């Protein structure tokens, strides 16, 4: 794929040590892009054991890795549930770099509390998932899209959706609804922005081996007298056995698709939702 020299990428949800945001930041930087990364400031209780053990510093650790590749990186904290903070985020990135060419809407709500039957799902949990997984994607798309249109040089918007955006499951109403909405937003935005040479696409991963916190996994591990890492290891193993290609995705598998959508080679692809799931789901 052609390089991304001279391009600036904004990636949300990029502070996890094994996350898609970090992998995408490193992949785009390796291809020449300057990078702005953001995440929410997480309490220690919301950190995976591996990050605590490695004294991982979130977006600041990722920023150092990007800079080690010879690219500039701007780490910014932002609560994506707050529209004013999103506006401030976009303005800071524009002020620092002068432009945004690539937007990767990667952040998601921490899963686990949404794992309830629709009749038992708390309204507060529903609202939180829609705010982070859907409304924040809309606001980032709107604000960055406005800048791309004004500059008249095209752009790339890449939304990280999910298998759950195409096929729901029991006890997944909030997550699936929020991700189904991302695909509708992707298609509508692609049509709205096509006259300005701005493409909008979605990546739909299946299970990913990211180690991001799951409240449900933590509760299940405690109930079985197991460590969170041991319980998660079983989930990864079992999910891999159910996957035709024999493993679940690594963050880099998703980042590879992000990099493709960001490239010139993908300039005639828009409004699409590409699966990265090892054959679990085909449509």
The catalytic residues are 175, 179
**What is the spatial order of strands in the sheet that 273-276 belongs to?**
73-77, 34-39, 8-12, 102-105, 155-160, 198-205, 273-276
**Is 200 strand, coil or helix?**
strand
Exposure pattern of 186-218 as b/e (b: 16+ CB <10 Å)? bbebbeebeeeebbbbbbbbbbbbbbbbbeebb
Residue 67's alpha-carbon distances to 75, 77, 90, 208, in angstroms, are 11, 18, 21, 26
| Cβ(76)–Cβ(92) below 8 Å | yes
Give the separation between CA 274 and CA 256, rounded to whole angstroms: 12
Residue located via tokens 């409304």: 135
Give the separation between CA 52 and CA 62, rounded to whole angstroms: 15
| Cβ(17)–Cβ(251) below 8 Å | no
| Cβ(38)–Cβ(59) below 8 Å | yes
Q: From the CB of residue 42, how many other CB atoms can be counted at a distance below 10 Å? A: 16
């Amino acid at each position: 794929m052609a390089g991304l020299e001279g391009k600036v990428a904004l990636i949300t949800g990029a502070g996890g040590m094994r996350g898609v945001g970090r992998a995408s930041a490193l992949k785009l930087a390796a291809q020449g892009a300057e990078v702005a990364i953001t995440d929410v400031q997480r309490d220690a209780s919301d950190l995976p054991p591996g990050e605590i053990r490695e004294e991982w510093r979130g977006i600041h650790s990722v920023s150092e890795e990007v800079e080690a590749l010879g690219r500039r990186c701007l780490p910014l904290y932002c609560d994506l549930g707050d529209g004013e903070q999103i506006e401030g985020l976009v303005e800071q990135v524009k002020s620092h770099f002068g432009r945004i060419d690539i937007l990767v809407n990667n952040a998601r709500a921490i899963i686990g509390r949404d794992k309830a039957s629709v009749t038992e799902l708390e309204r507060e949990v529903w609202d939180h998932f829609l705010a982070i997984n859907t409304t924040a994607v809309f606001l980032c798309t709107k604000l960055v899209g406005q800048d791309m249109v004004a500059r008249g040089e095209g752009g790339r918007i890449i939304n990280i959706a999910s298998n759950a955006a195409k096929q729901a499951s029991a006890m997944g109403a909030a997550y699936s609804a929020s991700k189904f909405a991302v695909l509708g937003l992707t298609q509508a935005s692609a049509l709205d922005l096509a006259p300005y040479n701005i493409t909008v696409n979605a990546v739909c991963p299946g299970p990913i081996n990211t180690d991001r916190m799951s409240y449900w996994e933590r509760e299940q591990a405690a109930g079985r007298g197991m460590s969170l890492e041991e319980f998660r290891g079983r989930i990864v193993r079992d999910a891999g056995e159910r996957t035709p290609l024999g493993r679940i995705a690594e963050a880099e598998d998703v980042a590879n698709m992000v990099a493709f959508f960001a490239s010139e080679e993908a300039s005639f692809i828009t409004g699409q939702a590409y699966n990265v799931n090892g054959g679990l789901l085909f449509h």
